[in-house]
Structure 1
Amino acid sequence: MKTRKMLIFLVLMLVSISILAACSDKKEVEGKLETLTILYPGDENDRMTEFLENEFSEKMAADLGLKVKVIFVPWAQYWEQKDIMLAANEPIDLYWDGLPDLSTIVNKKQSMPLDDLIKEYGQDMLKVLPMEQFQGAMIDGKIQGIPSAYAPSSAMYQLVAVRQDILEAVGMSEVKTPDDLKEFATRAAEKFPEMKGPADIVFKPLTRYFADEQYNWIAVEDLVVFGEDSKKAYSYYESEAFQEVAKFNRSMYDAGLYSEDLTIKYNERDSRMQTGLYLWVEGSLGKEMEIIDAIKANAPDARVKTYLLADDKPRYITATGGEVLGIPVTAPNPEGAIKFVNWIYKSKENYQLALYGVEGKDYEIVDGRIKKLTPSEFFYEWMFRNQNYQMFGPDVAQESIDNYKSWDDKAILSASLGFRFNNEKVKLIETALKEVAGKDLAAIRSGFVDFETGYPKAIKKLKAAGIDEYVAEIQRQLDEFLASK
């Protein structure tokens, strides 16, 4: 009996020692890991939390020696919080923002030159992200960020992603004009009172329709556009196209078809659409593929189709990506940030793990299509999309895939491709203009404020803030850029 007890005691001792050793080894491994902190827009879901703490954490530790910390910030507060956190030198290594803001990002020291880091740690990334892809994120010949998404991009942000099932249910088959959108919203309000109307004012698709020449936005807060025919810079808010957009949107408010949220909570437009209770949102090519699963989780019979208003007008490639991944000058671990992005693009397996989760648990591949087994989102597909690895769901029609892949075949390269305005000489003016745009003109653009009474006052403020000098400086730099091509 004593011998048996002694054996049990010894076994328990050995188990305890093994556990302690394992814990010690784990702590030792964790102690050797470098921390990578990512600032990320949106809300964290339960599966993403579990994924980051387990499967993804193990992969990062094993492959890169990194412990990845993701700070989630709701969309409505993201840009403000990003500026506050970076200004306070908080330890952020990687974040996402818009390419039109690149000069502001650089001048605020929110982004460092990445050429040397990419050369040393990003060689796998360059195999699937051509160097031409980076020209839209260069200032003075230096790479200041990694453009998000390598995919067909002509007419970016000029499309409308529409609830096709609701459109057909109200007796319509397609949308081609702003009047079609208004008719759709009117009929839907009558037949489906539980629906909450449009999720977005889609001002860029509307601008495409109303503009005499196609515009490309080339400054912060949508202040200035580039005319593709005239090759000139214009104050967007003073353009005839903007005035038509504002008048149309005012008519939508007057008809009770727009809600106040479209102005007050503009940046939440994608989140609204995904509730399954809204009719349309600004799109980009393939947008319906991005959002359909989230919508179906709330509206199982939903179908989404993307339309280009004024389809007969030319489509321009105006940027090699609409957004950019930036590494702040104060980043504690810039090497880790590049290693992380490089890892995602290194292989299809890495790409799928980061964007889709664990095969067999979160998704499965059937006949070359990706079938998601859970509605959970992982790292946003639109943020890292790469046409070398991109997967399509089983419900996506082959016609849509073929259209997607050939979308840029007839596109025209914008003469402004690669132009990045340096705002160093007009930073104070730009700050004043952004305030007018945000406080006055955004509400007019949304139709929230009466155009006839509000617009003249807002333009007077815009003039007083220095819009003419601002446009002149952009034009000067633009002329230099065009002359150098």
Structure 2
Amino acid sequence: MKFKKLAALFLVAAMGTTMLAGCGSSEEESGGTEAAADSGETDEITIALMCLSPMDESATDHVEEAINEQLEEKVNVHADIKWFDPNTYATQVPMMIQAGEDLDLMMFTPVPAAGYQSFMSQNQLMDITEYIDEYGKDIKDVMGDYLAATSKDGKIYGVGNMTSLYAAEAICMNKDTLDELGLTDKAEKMTTWSEYQDILKEVTSKTELNGVVNSDQEGSCVSPQPYINGGDSFDDAEWVDVLGDSYQYVYADPDTDEVKCYFASDEWYNNIKMAKEMYDEGLIYKDASTSQEWGESLIKNGVGFSDIKQIENGSLGSFEGSSGHKGLLKEVTTAKVATSAFQKFGFAVPVTAKSPEAAIKVLNLLYGDQEFIDTLTWGVEDVDWVKNDDGTSTYPEGVTADTVQYHTADFLYGDRLLVTPWEGDGADIRDQQKAENEKVEKSKYFGFCVDPSEVTSEITACKNVVDQYKPQLAAGIVSDVDATYKEFISALSAAGMDKILETYQSQLDAWLAEQ
């Protein structure tokens, strides 16, 4: 699998990391990494994992064998591991639960159909509080109060991944092109979208590259959710708290505590107006609204020069590793820590699980056992990766990103800060991430997460509307942006957006009253 080939859903995404929630935590007891395997027969469990692109058994068999050797030694468990690409995961895993198929541990993801809120709204997640109390010491040590993000009424229903909590909207550019055209200094000093567009005009006039490519499958070319650009100056851009809404259709106005529709904001309207202007000037990739590739993949393939997305500490190395070019990342505005940071990627036990105890024993290893999480992330040491003298990881001699059998991304599974860093990220990246995690500012609504169960039909209807309109508007390809935008907002209202806003507002008001 190609290294860190980020799907837009993430990141939107990509990567991302910006939010937190909840209520509840638990007591400490002994767990996985320090405890010897229980006596008796080996527990058999099934695990569903999402990777970023398809992997067949020829790429995963040797990794699964190595993982099971570790599991049997550490916690006396044997796992049947099923890897799915994002689209397949979103369809197959919910079907497995509905059909009552063997499944004991699974991921929740930024793909809405397989997201934490989606599983919760359908009552598909098991209360794992007591199992974490008994078998999840490392989970509790690492996550602490952050378990609140995946809790309801004091009960824990999932465990989010620990990652870098710093996040920002940034313009990610091919520095090789900037250097070649003498634009690097200008790019480093720019503070407005106008200055960025000036750079794009030079790039598109002097190369065959498209100025901006989509950063996700939804055609996002100007500003990724949950960021909005209020004006020409980067200082006018802001991050908004989407209150744990996995679709990011709503946000709370921190000045008034009013829950609003993200797409109905003046700022998002400004985003799409700018996208339209840039598209008409030939600065945006003409296939951005329909492309099945995005971001670094398009930059690597010589299609584009830049994209705009959410970044985190370590994103420069990810950009360079995925695009094959030196990168320059220009920060626009930063995010705060809120609910969704720990609802993007994480793990849960479905209500149909046969062996929840064994599932939590395995999950605990992802928060306390570096050998285990390194194997799941990078593959088998000395086969898929090797450790450098400085403690970073890289490909073995003769192996490249194109020839490696198995390779995923370090933000997918468990405690990212435990994973041996890839050499492009630097040997001290984990220390940097931990230090920044101590400094990030919490959202005003830290600890709150909407419950969508009352409006699932309306959410589905609104999703259909968003899927129809957003890619074209976000990529600037519509002929009449004002008319199309009015149709979009009207269609959202007809689909039930007003009821969604009313429902979420009542939940937020109740939560605020308790603070």
TM value normalised by structure 1: 0.79
Distance in 1 separating the partners of 2:300 and 2:353: 33
Q: 1:306 aligns with which of 323, 329, 342?
A: 329
Give the letter for the 1:284 counterpart.
Answer: I
Deviation at 1:38, TM superposition (A): 1.1
Cα 1:107–1:235 shift into 2, 3 Å: same
Distance in 1 separating the partners of 2:61 and 2:146: 33
Distance in 1 separating the partners of 2:103 and 2:508: 33
Matched residue SS, 2:412: helix
Task: Tell me if structure 2 keeps the 8 A contact 1:165–1:303.
Answer: yes
Higher deviation after alignment, 284-293 or 189-198 = 189-198
Match of 2:371 in 1: 349
Distance in 2 separating the partners of 1:79 and 1:184: 39
Q: 2:150 aligns with which of 137, 144, 158?
A: 137
Task: Tell me if structure 1 keeps the 8 A contact 2:175–2:328.
Answer: yes
Distance in 2 separating the partners of 1:277 and 1:73: 27
Match of 1:250 in 2: 276
Give the letter for the 1:389 counterpart.
Answer: L
Q: For each residue in 1:439-479, what CA deviation from the matched residue of structure 2 results, as whole angstroms up to 9, or x when unmatched?
A: 22343233233422211111111112222221121111111
Q: For each residue in 1:370-396, what CA deviation from the matched residue of structure 2 results, as whole angstroms up to 9, or x when unmatched?
A: 334343453431123636524444444
Distance in 1 separating the partners of 2:430 and 2:74: 33
Matched residue SS, 1:68: strand
1:222 maps onto 2:222 in alignment:
no
Task: Tell me if structure 1 keeps the 8 A contact 2:170–2:330.
Answer: yes
1:241 maps onto 2:233 in alignment:
no
Higher deviation after alignment, 104-113 or 78-87 = 78-87
Cα 1:196–1:155 shift into 2, 3 Å: closer
Deviation at 1:267, TM superposition (A): 7.8
Deviation at 1:417, TM superposition (A): 1.6
- Which one has more relative contact order, counting CA pairs under 8 Å at least 6 apart? 2
Task: Tell me if structure 1 keeps the 8 A contact 2:108–2:345.
Answer: yes
Cα 1:177–1:326 shift into 2, 3 Å: farther
Higher deviation after alignment, 387-396 or 114-123 = 387-396
Deviation at 1:171, TM superposition (A): 2.6
1:107 maps onto 2:118 in alignment:
no
Deviation at 1:106, TM superposition (A): 0.7
Higher deviation after alignment, 283-292 or 426-435 = 283-292
1:282 maps onto 2:309 in alignment:
yes
Deviation at 1:234, TM superposition (A): 0.9
Cα 1:137–1:394 shift into 2, 3 Å: same
TM value normalised by structure 2: 0.75
1:263 maps onto 2:273 in alignment:
no
Task: Tell me if structure 1 keeps the 8 A contact 2:318–2:425.
Answer: no
Give the letter for the 1:250 counterpart.
Answer: K
Give the letter for the 1:167 counterpart.
Answer: L
Matched residue SS, 2:388: strand
Cα 1:250–1:340 shift into 2, 3 Å: farther
Match of 1:209 in 2: 229
Q: For each residue in 1:8-39, what CA deviation from the matched residue of structure 2 results, as whole angstroms up to 9, or x when unmatched?
A: xxxxxxxxxxxxxxxxxxxxxxx956132314
Deviation at 1:241, TM superposition (A): 1.1
Please, which runs of 5 or more residues in structure 2 have no aligned partner? Answer: 1-40, 216-220, 231-235
Higher deviation after alignment, 211-220 or 475-484 = 211-220
Cα 1:51–1:181 shift into 2, 3 Å: farther
Q: 2:487 aligns with which of 457, 463, 466?
A: 457
Matched ranges for 1:50-65 at <5 A: 50-65=61-76
Q: Which has the higher helix share?
A: 1
Amino-acid identity (%): 20
Task: Tell me if structure 2 keeps the 8 A contact 1:103–1:420.
Answer: no
Q: For each residue in 1:72-115, what CA deviation from the matched residue of structure 2 results, as whole angstroms up to 9, or x when unmatched?
A: 33334543444444444443331231398533321213322221
Give the letter for the 2:201 counterpart.
Answer: T
Q: 2:44 aligns with which of 24, 34, 37?
A: 34
Matched residue SS, 1:367: coil
Task: Tell me if structure 2 keeps the 8 A contact 1:37–1:70.
Answer: yes
1:189 maps onto 2:191 in alignment:
no
1:119 maps onto 2:119 in alignment:
no
Distance in 1 separating the partners of 2:223 and 2:473: 11
Give the letter for the 1:283 counterpart.
Answer: Q
CA RMSD of aligned residues (A): 3.3
1:198 maps onto 2:218 in alignment:
no
Cα 1:36–1:81 shift into 2, 3 Å: closer
Matched ranges for 1:14-33 at <5 A: none
Q: For each residue in 1:269-327, what CA deviation from the matched residue of structure 2 results, as whole angstroms up to 9, or x when unmatched?
A: 565456575433523212233353343xxx3xx223433214xxx64212343433232
Distance in 2 separating the partners of 1:204 and 1:413: 20
Match of 2:26 in 1: none
Deviation at 1:404, TM superposition (A): 4.5
1:419 maps onto 2:477 in alignment:
no
1:473 maps onto 2:485 in alignment:
no
Cα 1:254–1:74 shift into 2, 3 Å: farther
Matched residue SS, 1:253: helix
Task: Tell me if structure 2 keeps the 8 A contact 1:226–1:232.
Answer: yes
Q: For each residue in 1:146-171, what CA deviation from the matched residue of structure 2 results, as whole angstroms up to 9, or x when unmatched?
A: 112x2331445x33443333333333
Distance in 1 separating the partners of 2:382 and 2:311: 30
Please, which runs of 5 or more residues in structure 1 have no aligned partner? Answer: 1-30
Matched residue SS, 2:127: coil
